[in-house]
Structure 1
Amino acid sequence: MNRRLPEERPKEPPTGYKIAHPVLSQDGTRAGFIGVSLGAALPYGVLDEASCVYGLRHRAPHRRCDCGFHCVHARQDAEALLTTADHRKAVLLEVTVLGAYIRFERGFRYGRQRVRTMTAGPCGCGAAGAVLADAGWGRPGWRVLESACPGCAGARRGVAPAAFERLAGQGLKVRILPVAMTPAYGVPELVAEAALLQARLDWFQTQLARIQGGRGG
């Protein structure tokens, strides 16, 4: 006998986290996102409903399919995905899970969502990002964007974070993280660093004297 899983009735819709690439429509009038794995070919909006990526007519999420939106429970799990080579230029999304969902150990699969916030990292050169610039690739009718400083953005087409918020609509908030600050050094750390540099300098001077002495002989 098949037993149905207990239905959850949360007082508020669950919150989840995922990574994606921001996109801008070819005519520059709409903004949205594409995923990084299953369903990456289908852009979605801030408030959107998933459909089966295999073209089946059932509603997502279906128990016998893997269609639907996906997210994880913990923010740090989503942030960890941004460290891989393929996802370094993706953004972090905080989403509200709407409607029916299937809960897993680490996340949800669900049919509707609202993207509340988008957090992008600094420019690839390490400077603070100022615009969302054309990343040089995309999907039919959509340009993928990436965080860029003014110098690296150059003449590439792009939008300011506030403009992306306006085009995406539905109350989306966009953040671009500042450049990571290097840790401050105290006197003991500076003394140790100076001693290490002096030791390296002494070694190089010894090697140079040995080479010059060999040439003189």
Structure 2
Amino acid sequence: MRLRLPTEHPAEPPTGYKIAHPVLWQDGSRAGFTGVSLGGALPYGVVADAGCVYGRRHRPPARRCDCGFHCVRERAAAEALLCITEHRAAVLLEVSVLGAYIRFERGYRSARQRVRTMTVGPCACGAPALALADAGWGRPGRSALAATCAGCVRGRTPVTFAAFARLAGDGLRVVAAPGAEVLPGPAGAESAPAAGGPGSQAVPGMPELVAEAALLQARLDWFQTRLALLGERGPGGAGQG
């Protein structure tokens, strides 16, 4: 006798939460995500279909396999994962569970998903993040991004939250965690709509120029402060020689 799982027919797709690393395609034309565990080698977009990471020919999510998109039902449970050392640079995703799915005690494993919102935490130094920048690692053809503040971005090219949302497309909303700062996007929005979508009037390259101008201003303020301190100490002050 073959046991069958009970079938659900929800009026709306269930909502789930997970963590992931934002990634940027090598040519800068697209943005997406990569997982933190089993499916980390398979980057995905805002709307994506799951594949079996073991290369099997069954359709995810299979009962006797771990394939499919994993997520938890409670936001707090996903946020708790961000406390793990190797996941500190990850972002929080709110997703719609689509297609066939298997319900577990704490979450779902689904055949399809849509990422609705990406929440970015603080910079690694603890300061509020105002953009994303190269995290120093990646996957073939894709560079991982991490939250950064003006002081830590240095020579890396920043990607504003609005620019990431535009490159990811499909209506992704990018927000900063409570208390974090955000560089203004087109028309004062906290994230930009998908390129070519309704209400999209962003000038190509403008979010990046806004980010670089803000970061350069922050560096200039830092140098002016240092020069002022040197001036107060005078030519014969301590520390010379």
Query: What is the identity, as a one-letter code, of the residue corresponding to 1:149?
Result: C
The structural deviation recorded for 1:178 is: 4.6
Alignment partners' CA distance in 1, 2:157 and 2:137: 12
The structural deviation recorded for 1:126 is: 1.6
| Map of 1:12 onto structure 2 | 12
| Map of 1:158 onto structure 2 | 158
Higher strand share: 1
| Map of 1:204 onto structure 2 | none
Give SS of 2:166's match: helix
Compute the RMSD of aligned alpha carbons. Answer: 1.1
| Map of 1:21 onto structure 2 | 21
| Map of 1:203 onto structure 2 | none
The structural deviation recorded for 1:124 is: 1.2
Alignment partners' CA distance in 2, 1:113 and 1:178: 25
| Map of 1:49 onto structure 2 | 49
The answer on 1:65 being equivalent to 2:65 is yes
Query: What is the identity, as a one-letter code, of the residue corresponding to 1:155?
Result: G
For residues 25-174 of structure 1, what are the structure 2 equivalents within 5 Å?
25-174=25-174
The structural deviation recorded for 1:179 is: 4.2
| Map of 1:187 onto structure 2 | none
The structural deviation recorded for 1:5 is: 2.1
Query: What is the identity, as a one-letter code, of the residue corresponding to 1:162?
Result: A
Give SS of 1:60's match: coil
Query: What is the identity, as a one-letter code, of the residue corresponding to 2:132?
Result: L
Query: What is the identity, as a one-letter code, of the residue corresponding to 1:9?
Result: H
Give SS of 1:162's match: helix
State the Cα deviation string for residues 175-203 of structure 1 (Å, max 9, x = none).
122548xxxxxxxxxxxxxxxxxxxxxxx
Query: What is the identity, as a one-letter code, of the residue corresponding to 2:31?
Result: A
Does the 8 Å contact 1:129/1:178 carry over to 2? no
- Where does the alignment leave 5 or more consecutive residues of structure 2 unmatched? 181-241
Give SS of 2:164's match: helix
- Max Rg structure: 1
The percentage of aligned residue pairs carrying the same residue is: 69
The structural deviation recorded for 1:58 is: 1.2
Matched pairs, number = 180
Query: What is the identity, as a one-letter code, of the residue corresponding to 1:42?
Result: L
Q: Structure with the greater relative contact order (CA < 8 A, sep ≥ 6): 1 or 2?
A: 1
State the Cα deviation string for residues 115-142 of structure 1 (Å, max 9, x = none).
0000010111121111100000000100
Query: What is the identity, as a one-letter code, of the residue corresponding to 2:95?
Result: V
For residues 171-210 of structure 1, what are the structure 2 equivalents within 5 Å?
171-179=171-179
Does the 8 Å contact 1:99/1:111 carry over to 2? yes
Alignment partners' CA distance in 2, 1:84 and 1:5: 33
- Where does the alignment leave 5 or more consecutive residues of structure 1 unmatched? 181-217
Give SS of 1:158's match: coil
Give SS of 2:119's match: strand
The structural deviation recorded for 1:31 is: 0.2
Distance 1:103 1:151, change over 3 A: same
Give SS of 1:97's match: strand
Query: What is the identity, as a one-letter code, of the residue corresponding to 2:44?
Result: Y
Query: What is the identity, as a one-letter code, of the residue corresponding to 1:6?
Result: P
Alignment partners' CA distance in 2, 1:139 and 1:105: 32
Distance 1:3 1:59, change over 3 A: closer
TM-score normalized by structure 2?
A: 0.73
